[in-house]
Amino acid sequence: MQAMTPPAGSRPSTRRACRARAALLLLLLLLLLLLLLLLAAPLASAHAPEPATAVPALGWSLEPWVLACLGASLLLYLAGLLRLWRKAGAGRGVGMRRAASFGAGWLALVLALVSPLDALGGYLFSAHMVQHEVLMILAAPLLVIGRPLAVWTWALPAPWRMRTTRLVRQPALAAAWEVLTCAPVAWALHGLALWAWHLPLFFEAALRSQAVHSLQHASFLATALLFWWPPLAGASRAGHGGSMLYLFTTMVHTGALGALLTFSTVPWYPAYGTATPALGFDLLEDQRLGGLIMWVPAGLAYLVVALVAAARLLQGETVRAAPGAMPPR
């Protein structure tokens, strides 16, 4: 989806609303961080791991609603892309790289939600962390680069496409999009989802209930899509320097959560004690491996994108410093 721009007169109020919501969300995030530190150890020690069971049989997760969403998203993208390219020419409007990015992001969703990794995540915390990282640092940025919302509209009949375009340009929707994709708000929403769901109370609730588990994954993916929009799709508004700070601070707080999991001497999620021994893992070893997965690969992903932003920032400075260079547009 292309960035939706509200009427010029609404920008100051939208920015004030953005700052107010960002401040509130940051305060909530800090309170949840404190709550995590206070509750992690007591909640963990309040449960005893159950005896190990037999090695579980793992297979593909064929939940109808997940398969329906994945299938519809792919068919709509292909239909919209073909119609767009027939009208504008192959590679126009949405280039080959963007289309390939969407395809790779879609395959990452299949890996996370349909492959045996999904079933394994119910038995090993470390596998659950791999699943979450595939959703948040692989699928989400690739999908943002692929711009699926813009392509999906091209799959609609022309009258519906015109109505959809008018709808998304409504001031209320445009202002809501402006707020949600504002860098502080997107940063806070994603951080809040990440830390809140790793509280033992909520994480183990997701292990016990399929509905809560689905909500957990949906919130991770939705907030990750919002998170990656400013540095990847809205860089002209966020600025490359702002994107570097945005990514660096996320790398710090996700690394802190990973370090807490890695160096903890008590298990945060004793529910995994049922299956980890049967799979050859100690409960704490599994938790530490999961913490390292959150700490290192995710941190590297944020670092790589931040370095790209730094390179673009330096490239822009070089262009402005060159004698006779045209001012940037």
Q: Read out DSSP for 1-35?
A: -PPP---GGGHHHHHHHHHHHHHHHHHHHHHHHHH
End-to-end CA distance of the chain: 22
Give dist(CA 3, CA 19) in Å, integer: 19
CB 194 within 8 A of CB 132: no
CB 306 within 8 A of CB 270: no
φ/ψ region of 89 (left if φ > 0, alpha if ψ in -120 to 50, else beta) reads: left
Tens of pLDDT, residue by residue over 56-113, are: 667 888 888 889 999 999 999 999 999 888 887 777 778 888 999 999 999 999 999 9
Give dist(CA 150, CA 188) in Å, integer: 26
With 90 as the cut, is the pLDDT of residue 317 above it?
no
Residue 228: closest CA among 157, 164, 140: 140
The CB-based long-range contact list for 270-274 (8 Å cut-off, 24+ gap) reads 270/44, 270/47, 270/48, 270/49, 270/204, 271/47, 271/204, 271/207, 271/208, 272/49, 272/123, 272/124, 272/125, 272/207, 273/48, 273/49, 273/50, 273/52, 274/49, 274/50, 274/51, 274/52, 274/53, 274/123
Q: For residue 189, give every residue at least 6 positions away whose Cβ sits within 8 Å of its Cβ, in sequence order, or none.
A: 25, 180, 223, 226, 227
Tens of pLDDT, residue by residue over 183-202, are: 899 999 999 999 999 999 99
Query: How many residues are present in the chain?
Result: 329
Which two structure tokens, joined as six digits, stand for 261?
């999991």
Q: How confident is the model at residue 318 (pLDDT cuts 50, 70, 90)?
A: very low
**Sign of the CA dihedral with 43 first, then 45, 49, and 50 last:** negative
Tens of pLDDT, residue by residue over 249-282, are: 999 999 999 999 999 999 999 988 877 877 778 8
pLDDT computed for residue 16 by the predictor:
55
Q: How far is CA 285 from the centre of its chain?
A: 26
pLDDT computed for residue 44 by the predictor:
38
Question: 10 Å Cβ neighbour count for 205?
Answer: 17
Across the range 316-327, mean pLDDT stands at 45
Across the range 177-185, mean pLDDT stands at 88
CB 150 within 8 A of CB 75: no
